[in-house]
Each structure stands twice: as C-alpha cells, then as structure tokens.
C-alpha cells in the first residue's frame, strides 16, 4: 500500500502546486547548499504534519476495528475513495466551509509569521503549517490511512504521501516558475485512475478472500467481546 501513497502524493502535487506553489516559492534564499537544506526542511515539515494526521486518523480506524467492523469498514473506505477519486477537484471547495475558515485563517497567519522569521526552524515550521491547509488530495490520502485501521500504518502512509509531493515542489523551487498547465493536466488525468485502484484494493481487502491483498478476517473471542483481526496468509 505504501507505493500507492508515494504515487498519490506525486500525482497530487501536480494538482496542489497551484495552491502550495506560491508558498514554496516564498521560501526564499540563495541557490546554494543552504537553499537546498531549507527546502528539504520545509518539505519534511509538511510530511511530518501529514504523518501526525495519519497517526490520529489511523487511531480512529483502529478503534473502529476493535468493535468488529474491520471488514465492512475497509469496504466502506474503498467506496469513499472511489467517490473522492472521481471528484477530487471539488473536494478543495471544503476550504470555503465556514467551519474550516477559522482554521485556514489561523494557518495563513502562522505561514506569514514563519516566512517573515527566516532560519531553519522557520522553514520547517512553514512546512508544518502548510500541511494543515485543506486539500482534496490530502483528504483522499487520509481516507486511505483511516481504512488501514492502524496508527503506525496511518502515519507511515501519510508520511510517504508527503514524500511523494517533494520531487515536483523541489523542481518548482529551483526553477522559480510553475509547471506548465499542459504538463499538469496530463499528470492530473492519472489521478482518478490511481484513486480507483486504491479504492478497489481496499474493497478487495475487505472481502477477506484469503489471498494477497485480501487476507482472512478471523474473529477472536475475548470474554464477551469479539474482535476481527487480519490474518495474512
């Protein structure tokens, strides 16, 4: 599953470069060793935030798995990923929801503060704050992390998602210009296909067919409670 996280992050960066691109370019400095160091710190900051979100959402998924809904939950998450994959651009409209407007304003204030401060910690802090900005691709990755039903796997999945966004943003930072619209459109066309693949993997996993990507779900009786646990063949 981790390879899908990296690939989702890479393809998603072509979609999100319009929103994150100006911030990435604002992380200034001369193009030397320090420049590269600062840009890595910025991108690692984003990846750490994604990992923390994955840890939290994975913990929720783990709690749900303990109440015996592991199989159907995986199928439900797969179906939700399919929906998000076919409408990932519309998911960015959540930024306009009043309940999220306060968060967006707070994040932008932190970005402005870190960008003015400068220094290694400020670059890392800029990435941490940037990772909290609403994004349709992040939503899709978080649903996948939730479906993994594990805090560790959720954090790892989201970290790899963040790492996947780094190559394009580094190119953007060094070139000083945005990727052409034509190139972005070509890569964006692959996003729904990858999303559908990830969704189908989760559905297949939830079916418990006893084979690769669809392990058995065996129920263990602990007193009065029954817990479904994935058993790898």
Whole-number Cα distances in Å, 115 to 13, 38, 47, 108, 126: 21, 12, 18, 10, 7
pTM, entire model: 0.80
**The predicted structure's pLDDT at residue 186:** 78
> Cα separation of 210 and 201, whole Å?
14
**The predicted structure's pLDDT at residue 63:** 85
Helices (H), 94-220: 98-117, 120-130, 136-148, 151-175, 181-188, 191-207
Three-class SS state of 92: helix
> Cα separation of 53 and 41, whole Å?
18
CB-based contact 147:58 (threshold 8 Å):
no
Q: One digit per residue, pLDDT tens: the chain, 233 residues?
A: 788 899 888 988 887 776 666 676 676 555 555 777 888 898 999 999 999 999 999 999 888 777 666 778 888 999 999 988 887 666 666 555 666 677 778 888 888 888 787 778 888 999 999 898 878 888 889 999 998 889 999 999 999 999 998 888 787 777 655 566 677 777 778 888 888 999 998 888 877 666 665 566 544 343 444 444 444 44
């Amino acid at each position: 599953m981790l390879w899908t996280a990296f690939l989702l992050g890479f393809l998603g960066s072509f979609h999100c470069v319009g929103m994150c691109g100006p911030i990435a370019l604002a992380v200034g400095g001369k193009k030397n060793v320090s420049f590269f160091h600062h840009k890595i710190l910025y991108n690692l900051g984003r990846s750490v935030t994604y990992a923390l979100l994955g840890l939290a959402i994975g913990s929720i998924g783990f709690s749900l798995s303990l109440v015996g809904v592991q199989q159907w939950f995986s199928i439900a998450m797969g179906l939700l990923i399919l929906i998000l994959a076919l409408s990932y651009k519309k998911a960015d409209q959540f930024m306009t929801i009043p309940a999220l407007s306060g968060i967006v304003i707070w994040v932008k204030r932190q970005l402005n503060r870190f960008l003015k401060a400068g220094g290694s910690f400020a670059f890392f802090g800029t990435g941490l704050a940037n990772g909290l900005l609403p994004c349709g691709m992040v939503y899709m990755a978080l649903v996948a992390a939730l479906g993994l039903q594990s805090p560790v796997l959720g954090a790892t999945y989201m970290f790899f998602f963040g790492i996947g966004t780094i190559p394009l943003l580094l190119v953007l930072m060094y070139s000083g210009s945005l990727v052409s619209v034509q190139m972005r459109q070509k890569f964006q066309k692959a996003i729904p296909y990858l999303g559908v693949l990830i969704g189908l993997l989760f559905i297949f996993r939830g079916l418990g067919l006893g084979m690769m990507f669809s392990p058995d779900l065996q129920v263990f009786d602990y007193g009065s409670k029954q817990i479904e646990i994935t058993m790898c063949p």
